[in-house]
């Protein structure tokens, strides 16, 4: 059981590093052009669509099944407020880390849920791991771009992403050993993350995906959400 959790959680996390490597290659070798710019903005929208699908199809529904109305509202608003202050602080430092924060905010609680679910339904857990992995790929690609624009060196970004890729295993093992019998704590974590993700989507990620005189970028968000629906349908 533990071996399976490590393998599938490892897959869900390694795509963080793979997405960073792909972004490094793309930024270094693809020549600057309007097509490159349009592709980049479309991918930002695609990642936003996947994040939104995780919010609507996974995190919030699972939390709503367990929490009462007031618990739901308090955790959701708390998440939004906390990440409002984090985002505001980072903005003062002229940092562009919203995509990275959003990625971690759905990656970590979903990984914890993955570990908690493995004990009772391994087939659902495996599909969830695949879904998380597909989710992380475009999100880390976009997060690499944001960090590069913030002044981080490519090597430093890839080192950060390499270590972040192990968060999936850490989260899944935490969920398996500590939270499989504590659904309420897991639900609070998911709803708290949802509030923060929704704030980041409207404050940073969606505006960043918009490109003047281009209409195709929004299709990226639609495609991203479709990926989420496919994953949710397979899990369901």
Largest CA distance in the chain: 53
Q: How many CB atoms lie within 10 A of CB 10?
A: 16
Across the chain, mean pLDDT equals 83
Half-sphere CA count of 216, side-chain side, radius 13 A: 9
Q: Which two tokens stand for residue 122?
A: 């391994």
Which pLDDT score, from 0 to 100, does residue 236 have? Answer: 63
Are 97 and 147 spatial neighbours (Cβ–Cβ below 8 Å)?
Answer: yes
Tell me the range of 32-36, 39-43, 97-101 where mean pLDDT is highest.
39-43
What are the angstrom distances between the C-alpha of 215 and each of 4, 190, 224? 43, 33, 16
**Across residues 110-139, what is the average pLDDT?**
78
Instruction: Reply yes or no on whether the pLDDT at 202 is more than 80.
Output: yes
**134-178 pLDDT, tens per residue?**
778 888 888 888 888 778 888 999 999 999 999 889 988 988 888
Which pLDDT score, from 0 to 100, does residue 95 have? Answer: 61
Please state whether the predicted TM-score (pTM) of the whole model is above 0.85: no
Percent of the chain clearing pLDDT 90 (strictly above): 14
| Domain regions of the chain by residue span | 2-235
Residue 96 binned pLDDT confidence (cut-offs 50, 70, 90)? low
**1-28 pLDDT, tens per residue?**
788 889 989 988 999 999 899 889 887 7
């Amino acid at each position: 059981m533990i071996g399976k959790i490590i393998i599938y959680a490892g897959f869900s996390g390694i795509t963080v590093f793979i997405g960073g490597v792909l972004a490094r290659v793309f930024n270094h070798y693809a020549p600057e052009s309007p097509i490159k710019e349009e592709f980049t903005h479309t991918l930002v929208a695609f990642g936003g669509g996947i994040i939104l699908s995780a919010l609507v199809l996974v995190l919030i529904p699972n939390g709503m099944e367990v929490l009462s109305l007031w618990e739901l509202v308090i955790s959701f608003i708390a998440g939004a407020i906390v990440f409002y202050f984090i985002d505001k602080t980072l903005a003062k430092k002229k940092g562009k880390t919203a995509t990275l924060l959003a990625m971690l905010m759905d990656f970590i609680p979903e990984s914890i849920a993955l570990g908690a679910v493995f004990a009772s339904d391994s087939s659902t857990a495996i599909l969830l791991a695949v879904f998380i992995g597909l989710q992380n790929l475009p999100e880390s690609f976009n997060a690499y771009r944001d960090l590069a624009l913030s002044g981080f060196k490519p090597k430093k970004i890839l080192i950060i992403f390499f270590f972040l890729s192990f968060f999936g295993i850490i989260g899944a093992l935490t969920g398996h050993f500590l939270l499989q019998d504590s659904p309420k704590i897991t639900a609070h974590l998911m709803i708290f993350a949802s509030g923060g993700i929704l704030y980041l989507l409207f404050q940073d990620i969606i505006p960043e995906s918009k490109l003047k005189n281009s209409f195709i970028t929004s299709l990226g968000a639609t495609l991203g959400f479709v990926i989420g629906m496919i994953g949710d349908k397979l899990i369901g």
